[in-house]
């Protein structure tokens, strides 16, 4: 997939690309007030939900087609381009009828390839930008699949939004950021515009700034922030929305760093450090290859002496030792344990190949 950048979208652009507006379009007065207040701040695209997929019934589920009328009026009065979430071909048809500029597909819809495909099919032959949020579960392939379905139906102006992932373990976040997933998406598709939704990741106002700052520090292309004139009285997601004034303050507090080394001196200095990193990486790989050679020798010894491949006591000793070394070297224990988990799996694969005379992976969960 070769994605177009924001500069080619039929809406004004810049860095960071900013989307702001209420979680839900609750009334014409609320929509117009928010849009007019946001006109005083940096904003590229005005957002508001009119169909709200809720976890349970009998909660506020949006204003529907009436909300689209309010958004159209806001666009007429302010000139701001508008984006709404769509979850079905019927939503797409209505959004196009009311002149919506950009569509987005939400996290709940993204879990169903059938739903995403039906939306993609309804967009065939239509030239409109589409933003795709990550699915609620941490599945990168599912996210990429949704992007591909939209792209393959002729929509070339595609962007992605990272809004965090639902997990069973407790966290200070409403949805865990799991930054490694969107960064891997960006690595695979460098031209894909990638934004962050700190409102849904944090779920609370006091978490917006650190999440937004980290996203920009990780070279995300922009932000989507929920803004409401009276957040405490919002009909949905009241705790994560902020006032237009607070939104302006948030932007003023953000540090907008250079996206790359621009002047020759800085670039040269950075390249010197990167060259050192490259040499260290080569050394790491050489050391890892040597370690695997010894793993194969151990596999041969075990085969000749009828010893089982996996030795839990030995593995526990390795884990204890590397945890101590990680602490001494001021390295993240969590990262080091993940690295050695992969090393252990590769060692078992090597030893299995020796034991059975072929490269065979035995899936044993390391403890």
Predicted pLDDT of residue 193: 92
- Residue in this structure with the two tokens 């009065």, named with its chain if needed: 77
CATH 2.40.110.10 for domain 264-356: no
Predicted pLDDT of residue 51: 92
CATH of 6-253, one of 3.20.20.70, 3.30.43.10, 3.90.1150.10, 3.40.50.150: 3.20.20.70
| Residues 281, 287, 293, 294, Cα dihedral to 10° | -150
| Cis bond before residue 39 (omega within 30° of 0) | no
| Residues 317, 322, 324, 325, Cα dihedral to 10° | 140
- Residue in this structure with the two tokens 């950009």, named with its chain if needed: 102
* DSSP summary character for residue 82: E
Crossing angle of the two packed helices 28-38 and 65-78, in degrees rounded to 10: 30
Q: How far apart are CA 311 and CA 320, in angstroms?
A: 15
Predicted pLDDT of residue 361: 42
Give me the residue spans of the domains in the chain.
6-253, 264-356
Q: Nearest CA to 69 among 11, 20, 25, 113?
A: 25
Predicted pLDDT of residue 11: 58
Predicted pLDDT of residue 61: 74
**What tens-digit pLDDT sequence spans the chain (367 residues)?**
666 556 566 555 678 999 999 999 999 999 999 999 999 999 999 999 999 766 666 667 779 999 999 999 999 999 999 999 999 999 999 999 999 999 999 999 999 999 999 999 999 999 899 999 999 999 999 999 999 999 999 998 999 999 999 988 888 999 999 999 999 999 999 889 999 999 999 999 999 999 999 999 999 999 999 999 999 999 999 999 999 999 999 999 999 988 877 767 777 888 888 999 999 999 999 999 999 999 999 999 999 999 999 988 999 999 999 999 999 999 999 999 999 999 999 999 999 999 887 544 444 444 3
Does residue 50 contact residue 24 with C-beta atoms inside 8 Å?
yes
CA angle 146, 151, 155 (to 5 degrees): 125
The DSSP annotation for 240-282 comes to G-B-HHHHHHHHHH-----SS--SHHHHHHHHHHHHHHHHHHH
Asked if domains 6-253 and 264-356 share a fold, the reply is no
What does each C-alpha distance from 293 to 169, 259, 297, 321 come to in angstroms? 38, 41, 6, 21
């Amino acid at each position: 997939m070769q994605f177009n950048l924001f500069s080619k979208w039929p809406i004004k652009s810049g860095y960071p690309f900013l989307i702001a507006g209420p979680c839900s379009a609750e009334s014409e007065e609320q929509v117009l007030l928010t849009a007019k207040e946001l006109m005083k701040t940096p904003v590229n695209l005005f957002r508001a939900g009119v169909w709200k997929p809720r976890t349970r019934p009998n909660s506020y589920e949006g204003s529907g087609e009436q909300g689209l009328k309010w958004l159209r009026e806001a666009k007429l009065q302010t000139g701001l381009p508008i984006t709404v979430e769509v979850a079905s071909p019927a939503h797409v048809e209505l959004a196009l009828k009311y002149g919506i500029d950009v569509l987005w597909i939400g996290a709940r819809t993204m879990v169903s390839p059938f739903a995403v495909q039906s939306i993609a099919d309804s967009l065939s032959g239509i030239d409109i930008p589409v933003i795709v949020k990550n699915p609620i579960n941490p599945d990168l392939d599912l996210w990429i699949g949704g992007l591909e379905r939209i792209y393959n139906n002729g929509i070339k102006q595609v962007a992605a939004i990272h809004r965090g992932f639902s997990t069973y373990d407790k966290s200070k976040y409403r949805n865990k950021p799991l930054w490694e997933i969107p960064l891997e998406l960006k690595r695979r598709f460098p031209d894909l515009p990638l934004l962050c939704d700190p409102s849904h990741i944090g779920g609370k106002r006091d978490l917006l700034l650190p999440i937004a700052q980290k996203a920009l520090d990780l070279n995300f292309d922009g932000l989507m922030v929920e803004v409401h004139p009276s957040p405490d009285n919002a009909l949905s997601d009241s705790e994560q929305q902020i006032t237009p004034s607070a939104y302006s303050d948030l932007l003023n507090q953000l540090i907008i760093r250079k996206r790359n080394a621009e002047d020759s001196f800085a670039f040269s200095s950075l390249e010197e450090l990167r060259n050192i990193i490259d040499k260290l990486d080569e050394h790491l790989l050489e050391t890892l290859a040597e370690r695997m050679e010894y793993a194969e020798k151990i596999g041969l010894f075990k085969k000749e002496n009828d010893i089982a491949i996996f030795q839990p006591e030995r593995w526990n000793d390795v884990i204890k030792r590397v945890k101590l070394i990680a602490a001494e070297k001021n390295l993240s224990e969590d990262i080091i344990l993940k690295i050695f988990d992969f090393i252990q799996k590769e060692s078992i694969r090597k030893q299995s190949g020796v034991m059975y005379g072929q490269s065979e992976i035995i899936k044993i969960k390391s403890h």
